[in-house]
Chains A and B, each alone.
Chain A
Amino acid sequence: MINMAEKEIKSIDQATNELLAKASKDGVNTVFDRAESTQPCPIGAAGSCCKNCAMGPCRIPAPRAEETPEEKLQRRGLCGATAETIAARNFIRMIAGGASAHSDHGRGVAELFLAVARGEAPGYEIKDEQKLLQVALDWGIEINDRSNNEIAIDIGNKALAAYGNQEGELLTVRKAPQKRQEIWRRQGIIPRGIDREIVEIMHRTHMGVDQDYHSLLKQGARAAIGDGWGGSMIATELQDILFGTPAPILGRANLGVLEQDQVNLIIHGHEPLLSEMIVAVAQEPEMIEAAKAKGAKGINIAGMCCTANEILMRHGVPIAGNFLQQELAIVTGVVEAMVVDVQCIMQALTTVAECYHTKIITTSPKGRIPGALHIEFDEHAALNSAREIVMAAIENFPNRKGNTYIPQIQSDQVAGFSYETVNYLLGGMFRASMRPLNDNIINGRIRGVAGVVGCNNARVKHNEAHIAMVKELIKNDVLVLTTGCNAIACAEAGLLLPEAATQYAGEGLASVCETVGIPPVIHMGSCVDNSRILIATAAMVKDGGLGEDISDLPVAGAAPEWMSEKAISIGQYFVASGVYTVFGVTWPTIGSKEVTDYLFKDMEQMYGGMWAFEPDPIKAAHMMIAHIDKKRKALGIDKARERVLFDMAMRQKLEAI
């Protein structure tokens, strides 16, 4: 009986469970219900199903027992594609899907950026001049006495050109440490253009093209680098220039941020382009008046998924929840409108909304849902689009049905940690650097750094693996950098508060957190903002004392509740950048031992980083810690250091600053 009850608890989050109970009472079917009624296809899950031509789909499940070479030879698709080829093709098609999503997001930002620079997008402006100049320097764009807009036009053009670049090396990979670039060059995986590598994946995986899993997986790495060090990085950099580089800010998280007596408007999806405008417009007196005229006390904007992270980081807008909470926000019955753009938006939203008064408003020409209201975002008249959307929400306020319930559960959180901010926070205006981080890694107060990121997955208990892993890591003095839905899970669990350091972190990490005044888990933004983690690791290398390359650093990555193709692309660019990366839930290549070994073992020889799979979050955390310890040992920082006392002779040998 106890086990049954345990099983029925879908989330470690109380608000989620309360609303699931309400959904059940209201007769609403959610992803949690569907996860029970619809089982995953075991052959597809193992990466052993090929449906790339009409002779198939060919299903070649892995044998239950060890097979003879003859048996293995026979286990092929009609065209003769082996389990290796099929698993590798499926794997890198996931990368293509993920990389295209991030990169297309970046393209959208770049297009808006260019329009802003040309004065064709009223309502937007360049907010962070310093970052504009920094990016111009990084990309070799002339500054002199040119105006911000002139420089921005060059930046916008270069960003867009990076997508269609056909030869040579992608401009933005220069941000990586020299040694890392050399490794990529040697392996032949520096992307030429962001789009080109994705298209090439589609070509190579077409029936009868690349049928060597080694070369398929290399192309996967190449496209993934084009995501992390390309498309995603462009998205982050240009968003920072347009909307401001995030700085520490206090925010809130969980469904309790919804307000009974206000117009609730949820912004869900990924791109901040429109949501920035909605946040601005909702503060206009005319809008607030309009809301009051409808009987509401005001307008409450809340975020969902990565859009939430974007507007939290820059404006402190509260977060209603992460991926698996999107339907539940509607189940409260108090959401007037949910505005969506792209990625991770469940089609079921419109079905759920039918039971309540909520309007689902699609805004991207790329993402339409039957049954939703479509108000297309026009970047040239963004304020108008935003006002129309906010008005639609206000108009809907009187239509609420009686059955409303808001769980009184929310947590505070401190967010807004861009790389630039972290650099400042570690030394102030006059001594900003990564030195204190490196120093405390070297002296062992901080054992290492982990990037824990990624989605929710309805196949496992909501947020459970996220929180278990993060707590285990910080308990063992590993500083956690987080983005995406993991960040929201951590916020809901109270881990993004400075007080969490004394409560959950090991003594060493806690002492550093106390020194800097930071939480033990650092919220760095949305999933394209994983590029911030890459830049932070490159800066750690540059600051010295921890080796010459990212693969020398005592760091690891994880996505304990991953589900999207974007997660695979992110994981692959971390691995290709030299980071040991552990995924939970399920592994999409177990249909081929060779491919899996290649990803889990051979890649370490090639890139210094490799994949791993472990559904148990505690075990996974300890795999990461073991890797961190291995790197510490290699760096010779596994032992306590002698205190060096300087005399004059040693001072004379110091290099000039």
Chain B
Amino acid sequence: MSKIIASAAIRGAHKIVDQTEKKWQEAMDKKGANQPVGFPNTAYYLPIIYGMLGTKVEKLGDMEQVLKKCKALLPPLVKETHHLPYLAPALDAGMATFFAEELLEAIRYMEHPDFYVTGEDPSVNNLWLGAADDVILRKRGVEFVDGTAPGFAAILGAAPTNEIAVKIAQECQEKNLYVFMAAETNGKRFSEQLHESGVQVGWPTRLVPFGPDVSATVFAMGFATRAAMSFGGIQPGEYRKILLYNKDRVFAFALPMGYVTEEWYANATGAINWGFPVIADTPIPEILPTGICTYEHVVSNIPHDQLIAKAVEVRGLKVTVSQIPIPVSYGPAFEGERVRGEDIYLECGGGRTPMVEWVSTKRMEEVEDGKVEVIGPEISDVTAGTKLPMAITVEVAGRQMQEDYEPILERQIHHLINYAQGVMHIGQRDIAWLRIGKQAVDKGFKIQHIGVILHAKLHQDFGRIFDKLQVKIYTESDKVDDIIQKARASYKLRDARIEGMTDEGVDTYYSCTLCQSFAPSHVCTVTPERTGLCGSYNWMDCKASFEINPTGPNQPIKKGELIDTRYGRWTGVDEFVQKASRGKIDHYYAYSIVMDPMTTCGCCECIAAVLPMCNGIMTVNREFTGDTPCGMKFTTLAGTIGGGLSTPGFVGHSKYNIAQRKYLIGDGGLLRMVWMPKMLKEEIRDRINTRAKEMGIDNFIDMIADETVGITEEAILPFLQEKNHPALAMDPILG
């Protein structure tokens, strides 16, 4: 710490804690100690306080003990001469600052429930998003886990001009970083600068306007703290582990832009506890010696055009930016961007015109690598607001190429096109939908560039499984119709082949340890009849992934000898799991929730739980925020069993897996299902009914209770009895 920084930070912390105490006292006088407080839809209470202290702040009165802790942490001011050591006191003061600011923000939520917008996007007249709820945390947190987002930049204040703000934001987006924004400089705020410049802000574009004040910094820190608890399996109160987890795995940094106030210093020293360094555009003192952060703690006076590059270096992050020769920016941060109404230049598909995307395998001599043809009108041939039919065909060839890989490549088309700035893509196959915005066209974007993107990115990510790739894009009606017929025939064949695959039919399963970056003991075993619990990887994906990267997170697992037919246990799997979990887990059962089930990382789409009174199981999807009959919301469940644990009675799984034949078959399979959220039932209704029919029950979906029936076992049991649910007649689930 530099003495100037420590002195300022400690003064700032005193101010913030004093201010909070006053606010709290006023609130107590008005509302009383029993007034409920908290951030919306979260199982982590006020997450920094919960993570660091293990304290649940649920009522206004609960804040008193936190304020006491703040006071205990607040050190005396640093003396001018012969000062006592100040690094530790300043770090403690920073922590007290965050505790106090969380209390402030919680009081604000209580007093002005509409101060922040709920959901991922700002509303027409409110930019501020406030605390990310647990649905956002899980959805976005997964990106931190799988590496699509390596970290975040916490920006305080405002850039000198709107143009600089836009450039910095775009650079972060190109490097896949989230931008979390708070506080103001001379009345200006970074998020407002972006908004004024027409940049779409919100979670989908990774530009998150948390709040107008410096205290909104706690929403960024709370997000990081929750990531450690929900994906790292660290318990609340294990402050040291949470902080080191962030230092090692969450590549975040703070960018104070403009004059650094004492309150900002207090927040900055707080962030250093998490290992997040500070990179400033003003000439504040630097702190170069290392120790709390991985490298430097404070680096200053960096020109704006070098700010992000410097920050990434100081944080010790390696970012690989894919350079695609197209005239617009490109990266996952642009995936969530929308193109609407007046902004649309060209639209294809989406029910307005026919559109299809199709990957097919050709012979080597039939493919000229890198060739992109647009057959029919190009963008330059049409006027703004035009609608065209479209068929995107990708033709690949290579010695390693197999027909099984076609759908894998095809599934990439959606996000690869969507990554382009100003281009929006929805759906796949023959229900695809494309919009190209005017801004993109102004910059020179053409239909042809879709081919350029697909060629470059598919080569980059899947180059090991094919040698040559060419793209033909048709925009003429008759040719598009012709392609649609051919593609549909191909889809049918593919689907039939996948449907027919069984666990018994292969001798090799695949592991997925992608999430070990966040949950170090987690090992998914992906079999043909059990897709990964995140819903992103089926057996075929893993097989292809192994071909592409033989030392990567998807490794073949020789099944070995069958130990348990009913519950699904194999010698080869046990051996693999023991090794891959670094000795933490020595076995699990693939087809059971009751016997030691497979481990669960925080990324699962659904979590199933045993309901003993109903003799069945329930499952809840990530998007469902309400209570469930097992007594826990999804997010509480994920926090309890996630982090790479095997917890009998609970297991994470994908949505698709529910209707697969091996789904918890050792315990009775799908017919054990007694409760699901209504939204999930609707989403996979047909597949559930089809699978249940196979098992001898008609219209099974209507026997499954949901939240409209009840959210306790007592409440749903009469419904199940009335429907004569098959689970009630099965052997006791807890033998």
Contact = CB atoms under 8 A, between A and B. Distances in A.
Contacts of A541: none
Interface of A: 248-250, 412, 414, 424-432, 435-437, 439-440, 443, 445, 497-499, 511-512, 514-518, 643-652, 654-657
Interface string B238-254: 01110111001101000
B325 interface: no
23 contacts: A250-B82, A414-B82, A414-B85, A424-B88, A427-B88, A428-B87, A428-B89, A428-B95, A430-B239, A430-B240, A431-B292, A445-B289, A499-B81, A514-B2, A516-B85, A645-B312, A645-B313, A646-B251, A648-B146, A650-B318, A651-B248, A656-B521, A657-B245
Interface of B: 1-3, 6, 52, 73, 78, 81-92, 95, 146-147, 150, 232, 234, 239-241, 243-245, 248-249, 251, 273, 287-292, 295, 297, 312-313, 316-318, 320, 513-514, 516-517, 520-521, 552-553, 582, 584
B98 to A, nearest CB: 11
Given A517-B3, A654-B249, A499 B82 contact: yes
Contact of B287 (A515, A648, A654, A657): A515
Contact of A516 (B1, B78, B150, B241): B1
B288 A511 contact: yes
Contacts of A517: 1, 3, 6, 78, 83-87
A248 B85 contact: yes
A647 B243 contact: no
Given A428-B90, A516-B85, A648-B517, 13 more contacts: A425-B87, A427-B91, A430-B273, A431-B244, A436-B291, A498-B85, A514-B1, A647-B147, A647-B320, A648-B146, A656-B520, A657-B244, A657-B245
Contact of A430 (B52, B234, B320, B582): B52
B143 to A, nearest CB: 11
Contacts of B273: 428, 430-431
Contact of A427 (B6, B78, B291): B291
A40 to B, nearest CB: 40
Given A430-B243, A431-B243, A511 B289 contact: yes
Contacts of A249: 84
Nearest to A423: B88
Nearest to B251: A646
B289 A654 contact: no
Contacts, number: 149
A115 B240 CA distance: 38
A443 B6 contact: no
A497 B82 contact: yes
Kindly name the residue among B1, B52, B245, B290 whose own CB sees the greatest number of chain A CB atoms within 10 A.
Answer: B290
B82 A429 contact: no
B517 A426 contact: no
A430 B249 CA distance: 18
B427 to A, nearest CB: 28
A596 to B, nearest CB: 41
A498 B83 contact: yes
Nearest to A446: B289
Contacts of B88: 424-429, 432, 516
Contacts of B73: 429
Contacts of B234: 657
A41 B89 CA distance: 54
Given A430-B240, A440-B290, A643 B316 contact: yes
Contacts of A428: 87-92, 95, 273
Contacts of B245: 657
Closest 10 CB pairs of A and B: A436-B291, A428-B91, A648-B147, A656-B520, A645-B318, A517-B86, A428-B88, A651-B517, A647-B318, A517-B85
B84 A645 contact: no
Nearest to B551: A649
Contacts of A445: 289
Contacts of A645: 312-313, 316-318
A652 B513 contact: yes
B320 A654 contact: no
A412 B83 CA distance: 11
B643 to A, nearest CB: 9
Contacts of B87: 425-428, 436, 515-517
A611 to B, nearest CB: 33
A439 to B, nearest CB: 5
B95 A429 contact: yes
A428 B88 CA distance: 4
A442 to B, nearest CB: 9
Contact of A646 (B232, B240, B316): B316
Nearest to B82: A412
Most B CB within 10 A of own CB, among A428, A440, A516: A428
Nearest to B269: A428
A208 to B, nearest CB: 56
Contacts of B517: 648, 651-652, 654
A158 B589 CA distance: 50
Nearest to B86: A517
Contacts of A650: 318
Given A515-B287, A643-B316, A646-B317, A654 B91 contact: no
Contacts of B521: 656
Contact of B85 (A431, A518, A651): A518
Contacts of A651: 147, 248-249, 517
Nearest to B239: A430
B358 to A, nearest CB: 31
